[in-house]
Structure 1
Amino acid sequence: MDAKLEKQILDQGMSLENVKEQLTNFKEGFPFLSIVGAATIGDGIKALTETELKHYLDTYPKTAAQKEVVKFVPASGAASRMFKDLFSFLEGDGDISKSSFVQKFFQQIEKFAFYDDLNKSLEKAGSSIKKAMESGQHQMVISHLLNEEGLGYGQLPKGLLKFHHYSDHDRTPTYEHFMEGILYGLGKGNTVRLHFTVSPEHESKFKEEVAQVQPKLEKEYRVKFEVSYSQQKKSTDTIAVNMDNTPFREEDGSILFRPAGHGALLENLNEIDGDVIFIKNIDNEVPDRLKSPTKEYKTAIGGLLLEVQEKVFEALKKLDVDSGENAIAQAESVITQDLGGKLPKSYHGLTSEEKHKYLHKKLNRPLRVCGMVKNTGEPGGGPFWVKEDDGTLSLQIAETAQIDLDNPEQKEIFKSSTHFNPVDLVCATKNYKGEKFDLLKFRDMRTGFITEKSKSGRDLKALELPGLWNGAMAGWNTVFVEVPLITFNPVKTVNDLLRDEHQG
């Protein structure tokens, strides 16, 4: 490795060993995750009864009022992908008949929450949406939506776009996360704690939006908000390589480093000091009229997390002072009943001392409860049983790319999956002594991804760290709970905002 490259790596805040390991990963690739079964209702996924739901709705708010509750919202993603079809239209010949997507956009343009802002932008230029459409100037409308001379939506993050229209105001996803926080995120000190991961170039705009929303809602709902921000660390970027696995060099000879996917946010999560941490993507928000199921099930998974955590802590404390059969039996019950895990066959041949040690290690981990929705054919991860190195069967969220679909047996298990991961998590990241876990120690670095990208017309290979809710949490204790499909309404394209779920 030449001196110039070494200096660039160190300036990036990375270690030389880390980059050498990344280069090795490009050459050798990553192993597939060996799934042994799909998690289903009654076998890895819990379906809450009405009685259980009512129980958590009654008990969780009282318990949460004594806890530091945080809503952790990954919000650094740019909205440019939302407008992919509109950008293509802008670069084309302006013939609207060639794109059904663009036709739909214009046919229902009045339904978008940003309609009035867009119209005002065009009026400043001496036109209007109606005039431009009547004269066939559809590209002018799109240009005012996406480019800096207008609303600049093509350069903003999703969290700052107007998603939902109400009778007297419009809301961004950031605004909706404040509203959701009031519903289930109220913790110690009558405070809702919100944490947004943002891009450096957008942090000031997020702060402007929050300055508009926070005082108004604090006054109206008589609650306090604590809002914090973090940025994806440059030291979590990964080196890019050419197709022959040699470092990809820019025209000036420097090495290209790229953001390593949402798995890089594990470092940000690791710095959050909270008792209960909800994780939900920025774009998965609905108007107030549809928030009730979200409130119910977020409350339920929060309540379940705290109940399971209490049983885990009791078992660990007993193991600390009792090496007898009672302590072992209690810990076994927590693993198999409360956590829904499966002990390996080899466990039953262990001595009492070995069982004691094994159980303590398995229980003393970060804990998460993950909502799962019924599979509707969405791309992405799902809940599976995975065999760990020691033979333990654990519950994991696995992405499609992690599974060897060329293997008939693995493909059959994958196809039998009944549920899908909507990124609906609540986490407990402190141990039974009240100390924060180092979350980086529970990550499985063998679960990274290699993807093919391009830069300046040249092909390259990029490396993604283990996904935040996939391999980054592989060593956590996990409980899966079925949640209603209505709680999952992401906005992947601008036309998704036309769906009934996003209309006020």
Structure 2
Amino acid sequence: MSFSDKDLSQIAKRGSNINVVKQQIENFKTGFPFMHVIQAATIEAGMIKLTDESKAEYIEIFEKEALKKKLLKFVPASGAASRMFKSLFSAKDEGKADKSVDQFFENLKSFAFYPSLVKVCKSTEKQDILKGLLEADGLDYGSMPKGLLEFHGYGDATRTSVEEHLVEGALYANNKGKVRLHFTVSPEHKKKFKELINSVLKTYEDQYQVKYNITFSEQKPSTDTIAVDMQNEPFRDASGNLLFRPAGHGALLENLNDQDADVIFIKNIDNVVPDHLKAETVIYKKALAGVLLKIQKDIFYYLKRLEKPEVSVYMLNKALRFVRTSLNVEPPKGFRAWSYDDKLAYALSKLNRPLRVCGMVKNVGEPGGGPFWAKNSDGSVSLQVVESAQINMGNKKQKEIFENATHFNPVDLICAVKNYKKEKFELLDFRDSKTGFITEKSQSGKSLKAQELPGLWNGAMSDWNTLFVEVPLITFNPVKTVNDLLRKEHQPA
């Protein structure tokens, strides 16, 4: 694949790497291999179920250790809310009303944003209400990010989802009154996020007796992927320029990689609840962080001993048993016949990696990924978050394993990204670049193929040490459509 000087200049200005761009084009031609899942991770196989006693122990570990740790709450918040209002857009633009539109109007007064909506509407006619909600001369919710929408009502006051994350941060990402939050936002909305947060910050600092340190980042243009036409040739716009597209949430790995923290809580912007339901979320966030810190302490114990000049066979075997039974990593076939040196190198490589503890809820039919045992490129088998698009649904056995999963991934992650010497891992080194996605899109009426980078919590973290912990369903309350805000979990007590 050859590029013109104009192409090379465009690629360089974006901060993209020409070899990476060429590899992306090659990926379109060859496709991405499917993941090979061995079985679903369940309570009986690979997933931790906390008892009341163990939960209390892990919370105690976290609360004690947190005083010495740099905590961070990392919230992907760049997603637009437009998909939340898909049916309302159809009603406004095409006059199409379905059951969800009827439900919206029947329960209009139950939405936290109702008082704000009334102020911008010209009349109580349905079209005027839809325009007032969605268009720029009204609330402009049709083009706003989810983080800036009024989600919950508190008497005469309301809270946006970004404010609910401020409150959550004070409740579990709090080290001696200091709360650090990082939001990934889109460039066009960054100013609005800052204005909103600045307007409410003192209120929450006074209410929770904390000081916030809030930072923002944007998805880097260099992480965008090149688009191709249906013949896998670079897609060009009307001016002949190459077309690059945002590469999904996997691009946020670079934003995460830029953060400096010992414990990082990751949770999506729309997964929040009002105060009267926050207790379970806080309990399990702390418990999962305790699990993380306990297992990290054990990992560091073995690493320090394995890096000594002389390592006994006994200690090596003990470490290998820990990798297999506590970190859930099964070695490749023929491992027993490996030499002492090869086994030691294997143990060190499997121990010295970023670590994550993932909360998993019982499967209630939500679309998306879940927890599985999967085969890795080095022949080992480990716990992975696997999306449906990564599974060969044409293979009856693989499809059956995926569909019989008992749990679902709600994106509830606690991460540790430093080694035992307190040095940051280079997170991009632990990504499986062969776990991307290819989708078909269109631009100016022309079909094209787009490529997403390995997802943030699946392929982007495939070489991390991973633990799965069951968490209650009440901790998972995403808002995918506007009517989700009518569910009792998003309504006042």
Aligned residues: 489
Q: CA-to-partner distance for each residue in 1:279-314, whole Å, 9 max, x for gaps?
A: 000000011111111111111110000000000001
Which residue of structure 2 lines up, in the alignment, with residue 430 of structure 1?
418
Which residue of structure 1 lines up, in the alignment, with residue 98 of structure 2?
99
Structure 1 residue 457: Cα displacement: 1.9
For residues 370-409 of structure 1, the aligned pairs below 5 Å read 370-409=358-397
Q: CA-to-partner distance for each residue in 1:196-226, whole Å, 9 max, x for gaps?
A: 0001111111111111222111112211111
Q: CA-to-partner distance for each residue in 1:438-490, whole Å, 9 max, x for gaps?
A: 00000000000000111222221100000000100011000000000111110
Which residue of structure 2 lines up, in the alignment, with residue 77 of structure 1?
79
Moved over 3 A (4+): none
* C-alpha distance in structure 2 between counterparts of 1:44 and 1:213, whole Å: 43
Which residue of structure 2 lines up, in the alignment, with residue 47 of structure 1?
49
Structure 1 residue 343: Cα displacement: 2.9
Structure 1 residue 389: Cα displacement: 2.6
Note if contact 1:346-1:391 (Cα within 8 Å) is conserved in structure 2. Answer: no
For residues 271-286 of structure 1, the aligned pairs below 5 Å read 271-286=258-273
SS at match of 1:278: strand
* C-alpha distance in structure 1 between counterparts of 2:31 and 2:332, whole Å: 28
* C-alpha distance in structure 2 between counterparts of 1:361 and 1:377, whole Å: 36
1:269 is the counterpart of 2:256 = yes
Which residue of structure 1 lines up, in the alignment, with residue 330 of structure 2?
342
Structure 1 residue 11: Cα displacement: 1.2
1:142 is the counterpart of 2:142 = no
* C-alpha distance in structure 1 between counterparts of 2:216 and 2:430, whole Å: 24
1:491 is the counterpart of 2:488 = no
Q: Which runs of 5+ in 2 are unaligned?
A: none
> What TM-score, normalized by structure 2, do the two folds share?
0.97
Match for residue 461 of structure 1 among 435, 446, 449: 449
Note if contact 1:65-1:190 (Cα within 8 Å) is conserved in structure 2. Answer: no
* C-alpha distance in structure 1 between counterparts of 2:274 and 2:324, whole Å: 39
Letter of the structure 2 residue corresponding to residue 309 of structure 1:
Q
SS at match of 1:65: helix
Note if contact 1:290-1:501 (Cα within 8 Å) is conserved in structure 2. Answer: yes
* C-alpha distance in structure 2 between counterparts of 1:354 and 1:419, whole Å: 36
Structure 1 residue 195: Cα displacement: 0.2
SS at match of 1:272: coil
Structure 1 residue 50: Cα displacement: 1.1
> What is the RMSD of the two structures over their aligned residues, measured on CA atoms?
1.2
Letter of the structure 1 residue corresponding to residue 117 of structure 2:
L
- Bigger shift: residues 217-226 or 465-474: 217-226
* C-alpha distance in structure 2 between counterparts of 1:22 and 1:72, whole Å: 28
Identity %: 55
1:501 is the counterpart of 2:489 = yes
Q: CA-to-partner distance for each residue in 1:326-385, whole Å, 9 max, x for gaps?
A: 321331232123223323342222222221111011100000000011111111101111
Which residue of structure 2 lines up, in the alignment, with residue 68 of structure 1?
70
> What TM-score, normalized by structure 1, do the two folds share?
0.95
1:180 is the counterpart of 2:168 = yes
SS at match of 2:242: coil
Match for residue 225 of structure 2 among 220, 235, 238: 238
Note if contact 1:68-1:276 (Cα within 8 Å) is conserved in structure 2. Answer: yes
Letter of the structure 1 residue corresponding to residue 53 of structure 2:
T
Which residue of structure 2 lines up, in the alignment, with residue 475 of structure 1?
463
Note if contact 1:450-1:462 (Cα within 8 Å) is conserved in structure 2. Answer: yes
* C-alpha distance in structure 2 between counterparts of 1:278 and 1:231, whole Å: 18
For residues 316-355 of structure 1, the aligned pairs below 5 Å read 316-321=303-308, 322-355=310-343
Note if contact 2:266-2:412 (Cα within 8 Å) is conserved in structure 1. Answer: yes
SS at match of 1:291: helix
Which residue of structure 2 lines up, in the alignment, with residue 210 of structure 1?
197
1:250 is the counterpart of 2:213 = no
Structure 1 residue 66: Cα displacement: 1.4
Which residue of structure 2 lines up, in the alignment, with residue 113 of structure 1?
112
Structure 1 residue 182: Cα displacement: 1.4
Which residue of structure 2 lines up, in the alignment, with residue 89 of structure 1?
91
* C-alpha distance in structure 2 between counterparts of 1:65 and 1:202, whole Å: 34
Match for residue 22 of structure 1 among 21, 24, 35: 24
Note if contact 2:62-2:290 (Cα within 8 Å) is conserved in structure 1. Answer: yes
- Bigger shift: residues 480-489 or 346-355: 346-355
Letter of the structure 1 residue corresponding to residue 104 of structure 2:
F
Letter of the structure 1 residue corresponding to residue 137 of structure 2:
E
* C-alpha distance in structure 2 between counterparts of 1:331 and 1:215, whole Å: 49
Structure 1 residue 416: Cα displacement: 2.2
Structure 1 residue 395: Cα displacement: 0.6
* C-alpha distance in structure 2 between counterparts of 1:91 and 1:217, whole Å: 39
